[in-house]
Amino acid sequence: MSREIQIKDKEFELFITEEKIRERIHRIAGRMNRELKDKNPLFIAVLNGSFLFAAELLRHLNFLPEISFVKLSSYRGTSSTGEVNDLIGLNEDLRARNVVILEDIIDTGITIDFLIKDVKRHNPSSIKVATLTFKKQALVKPVDPDYIGFEVPNTFLVGFGLDYDQLGRNLNGIYKLKDHRNA
Ligand code: IMP
Ligand code: MG
């Protein structure tokens, strides 16, 4: 795993290793195995960013949940547009279901807030949120995820699903934007 990478105009440095990411995801899977096994949960993974988190997590569950995918986006470049585009793909019957939303990152919380409200309209029994990374300091909506991989600082990250201009999603580690202020 290289320690530094360049994507277009930006330099990134390794922040969380693949080993550490997988270990955290397996720990979340362990908790879900205890807490959700008997609840017939429906997992909803938010595309594009959560595909690797969802894959690693779901492969470590010891029960047989339903899994679906939705797509929504609010981001351009390295800063939030603050506006969520339409939700694509929520076709499941969510009535009386225990829904678990899977996200790659919660930044301002605007996206997950939008999705939670949308899911609520379908009258599920419960909604839980699992996110690989959580920029708690960047929140502008009151979001309190049930399962958190890493609390991360308010800096731009790529890798393990997270992109910069659609690139870097396939990196095995999570990299952070290099800070040149002290260089
Ligand atoms: P929010 O609506 O501000 O919480 O942003 C959520 C979405 O913005 C995520 O699902 C990501 O697609 C994107 N995002 C936020 N922070 C980052 C980051 O550091 N790197 C890459 N994408 C990010
Ligand atoms: Mg996303």
In this prediction, residues 92-121 reach a mean pLDDT of 94
Confidence check: pLDDT of 74 > 60? no
> 86, 93, 107, 165: which one is catalytic?
107
In this prediction, residues 107-135 reach a mean pLDDT of 95
**pLDDT for the residue 46:** 95
In this prediction, residues 153-157 reach a mean pLDDT of 97
In this prediction, residues 98-121 reach a mean pLDDT of 95
pLDDT-above-70 percentage for the chain? 91
133 CB within 6 A, ligand 1:
no
Best residue for ligand 1 mutational test, from 80, 84, 141, 150 (most atoms within 8 Å of Cβ):
80
In this prediction, residues 28-39 reach a mean pLDDT of 98
Q: Is 179 a catalytic residue?
A: no
156 CB within 6 A, ligand 1:
yes
Ligand 2 center from residue 106 Cα (angstroms): 8
Confidence check: pLDDT of 134 > 80? yes
**pLDDT for the residue 90:** 83
Q: Point out the least confidently predicted range of 24-28, 48-52, 89-93.
A: 89-93
98 CB within 6 A, ligand 1:
no
pLDDT-above-90 percentage for the chain? 83
C-alpha angle 150-129-94 in degrees, rounded to nearest 5? 160
**By alpha-carbon position, which residue is closest to atom 16 of ligand 1?**
107
Mean pLDDT of the chain: 92
**For the whole model, what pTM was predicted?**
0.93
Confidence check: pLDDT of 77 > 90? no
**pLDDT for the residue 87:** 74
107 CB within 6 A, ligand 1:
yes
**pLDDT for the residue 101:** 98
**By alpha-carbon position, which residue is closest to atom 9 of ligand 1?**
105
**pLDDT for the residue 72:** 82
**pLDDT for the residue 88:** 78
